[in-house]
Structure formats: structure tokens, C-alpha cells
Amino acid sequence: MINLNRRHLLVSLGAGAIAAHRAVAQPSPQDIGARLTQAQQNGKVSGVHALLVSQASKLVFEHYGRGDDEAWARSLHSVVFAPDVLHDLRSVSKSVVALLYGIALAAGKAPPPDAKLYDQFPEYPDLAKQSGRDRLTMHHVLSMTLGLEWDELTIPYGSLRNSENAMEAAPDRFRFILERPVVGEPGVKWIYCGGATALLGRIIARGTGEELLPYARRVLFAPLEFGATEWTKGNDGEPHAASGLRLLPRDMLKIGQLVLAGGTWNGRQVVPSGWVKRVTTPVVAIERGVSYGYQWYMGEVVAGTPPRSHHWVGGIGWGCQRLYVFPSLDLVVATNCGNYHKSLPEQISISRALITEVVLPGFV
């Protein structure tokens, strides 16, 4: 899900790439907790439902709060959060879909990045014949560089002029996505597009013969020993592939740990290592130093004394849902928050404070 001018929230922490691990001193969980309490007391941080930090594959800090929550915009009212309480990932869901795509690709059940997009949807031959659409490939879908008209950034969510809302209201969401006018050269410009992730989810389901959630549970969630999981659906029964995944906070953290480990878990290669590298390799620049790979962001954040840039790759979701992997620190940070209705400047400030003032001072 996306909201007005969300691009600036997405890029508020900078850009970078995977780096080599290095040993660092393990921080005191009490110190992280004290900094979190101070940040909450001085108003820099609010709405935190869960904050988890792992280093060297070990959980070093875990905090749960209480507050109002939503499940894909459906109010859950006040919730007391804990390790066994599900939370929306919002657009961090996209990053999980990218990993699922790589697993399906390795099994021969998803097309490679250079495959033609419209060949995957033969039920729309009229669209495939239109000028310019023959150049679109799965690479453009994965990297959100389709060059199709799509606007989730400048039109408020809730309006049918917002492309995501219009997709949800359309009688055929996939035709709606695929018939968007061609407005640019494919592969050149990043245009945030939840519709692209919807296409990926549909292709995974079609190729594997399984719905998206059962497939995810079998090939990704079960190997990582996830607990309860949900994936919300639209009125047409299709999953909200781009924003509807709900996980336990510890399991969200595991996704980051898996990526940090190159796709391996307990000695098993769950996601091909080459695919993990590919999804976290920059394809297109967004702005202000941030790049985008295949449904994953690359950036950097400045922290420490003296200040230094620290590279990360991650997933970003509305309301301050965050999954950050800092390879050079052997560190993963997962946050779930209920800041869905806070102003954009407030969300930017909270996300930055959680990373630079609460978590990273213990590691840099």
C-alpha cells in the first residue's frame, strides 16, 4: 500500500550495497532498551509495536509495545503485541515475493528475467499486439521499470485515481495492470507500482499450481520454521501480493537473516545464493542516493562517532514497517509500527530515530 508523496519516505535513509561481514562488539540489550525509552519519552519515537535486532544470527534485542493496529486498513483496535501476535508487513511483502519468485525460478516454475511479460498472460492477446508492449520483460516487472502509467505516489490512498485503489476496484486486476498506457522507455525510470508485484504473485501461483500463501508456506516459511502467517486478499479472492503479508515479528526478522546469509538456513540453501545477490543488486536509481533492485531497496545510513555511512539492503512498508540488513555489521533490524496515519514528516523522523539513535549506537 502507498500514500501521498511516499517516495520521500522510501528514500529517507539513503543508498548502498551488500558488503563483507566484519566482527563487532555485541551491545547491551539494556542499553538499546534505555535508548528506546528515552526516544519515546522525548517524543522522537512513537507507535512502536515491535523492535527486534539480531547480530551474527542471534537475537540480541526484542521489544513489544501496545497500540492501535490494522490488518490491510481494517481496524484491529488496541492490541498488546508479543512474539505470537501477527503484524502487517505492508510493502515489505514485496521483498518476500521477490524471494519466492527466485525459488520458483530455480524450480523451473517461473520465467527468467529476460522472458517477455505478455507471453506470461496469453489470455490478453489484444494487449500483447499493442505497440511497444513487446519490449517489456520480467526484468522490468521485478525492478519496477515497466514504463507504464501508474501513480501511487502523488494521489492519496483511498482515491480511485490512485492506481492501487483502481486496481483493487477493477473487474480484472491483471488486465487493468497490463493495459496501462505506455508512458516511457522500459528499463529507464523507476515507477513505484504495486501492480508489478501483483503480476509476480500471479505468475508464481500459475507456474507452481499453488496459491501464493500455501506456496510461500511450503518453500520458504516452513524451512525457516515460521509460526502463524496470513496473506490478506482482495474482493476478487486474489492476494494483496504487494502489501498483504502478515508475519510474526521474529519471522520477519528471519527474512533479513536469510538474506544476510545468502539464502541459506541451518545449512540448507532455501533461496539460491545467486538470486539473493541479484535481488539486492542495484538496477535503477530512485533519488537521493537510493537504488532499487528486484523488489528490494539499497541504501546507507549515517551513524556513529565520528559519523560514517553504513550500507543496508531492505524492505520498506507504510506505517514504519522496516526490515534492514547491514552486512558489514552482521546486523538485521526489524520494526513493526502503527504509524499508518501519522504525517509523512513524522514517519520519516521516527524511522530515522529508531535506526540512528536507538539501534546503531550500540554497534558503531
Q: Which of 32-41, 186-195, 313-322, 336-345 has the lowest mean pLDDT?
A: 336-345
Rounded Cα distance, 272 and 278, in Å:
10
In the predicted model, what is the mean pLDDT of residues 141-165? 92
Whole-angstrom CA distances from 266 to 36, 99, 248 are: 32, 17, 20
Assigned C-alpha cell, 294: 528486484
Q: Which of 142-156, 178-192, 246-260 has the lowest mean pLDDT?
A: 142-156
pLDDT band at 4; cut points 50, 70, 90: very low
Sign of CA dihedral 341, 152, 88, 294: negative
pLDDT value at 17 more than 50: no
> What pLDDT, on the 0 to 100 scale, is given for residue 311?
96
Angle between helices 92-106 and 249-260 (to 10 degrees): 50
pLDDT at 63 over 90: yes
Residue 304 has pLDDT above 90, yes or no: no
* pLDDT value at 11 more than 70: no
Q: Cβ contacts of residue 58 below 8 Å, gap of 6+?
A: none
Which of these ranges, 23-27, 258-262, 308-312, 325-329, has the smallest mean pLDDT? 23-27
Q: In whole angstroms, what is the distance from residue 325 CA to residue 162 CA?
A: 31
Q: How far is residue 322 from each of residues 62, 278, 347, measured CA to CA in Å?
A: 15, 21, 11
What average pLDDT does the segment 193-203 reach? 98
The answer to whether the bond into 306 is cis (omega within 30° of 0) is yes
pLDDT at 15: 32
Q: Which residue has the higher pLDDT, 232 or 9?
A: 232
Convert the pLDDT of each residue in 147-158 to its tens digit.
999 999 888 778
Report pLDDT for 344.
67
* 139 contacts 187 by C-beta, under 8 angstroms: yes
Does pLDDT of 271 surpass 80? yes
pTM: 0.93
Distance between CA atoms of residues 131 and 117, nearest Å: 14
Q: Is pLDDT above 80 for 196? A: yes
The lowest-confidence range among 27-41, 195-209, 233-247, 261-275 is 27-41
Query: Of all helices (H) and strands (E), which one includes residue 125?
Result: helix 125-128
pLDDT value of position 305: 85
81-126 pLDDT per residue, tens: 999 999 999 999 999 999 999 999 999 999 999 999 999 999 999 9
Output the pLDDT for position 144.
98
Q: What is the pLDDT of residue 6?
A: 45
Average pLDDT over residues 339-344: 84
Domains in the chain: boundaries: 6-89+249-362
Predicted pLDDT at 8:
45
pLDDT band at 13 (very low <50, low <70, confident <90, very high): very low
| CATH code for the part of the protein at 6-89+249-362 | 3.40.710
The CA R_g of the chain, rounded to the nearest whole Å, is 19
Mean predicted lDDT score pLDDT of the chain = 92
**If we measure between CA atoms, which residue out of 215, 217, 211 comes closest to residue 229?**
217
CB 17 within 8 A of CB 298: yes
Query: How high is the pLDDT of residue 28?
Result: 81
Average pLDDT over residues 173-202: 98
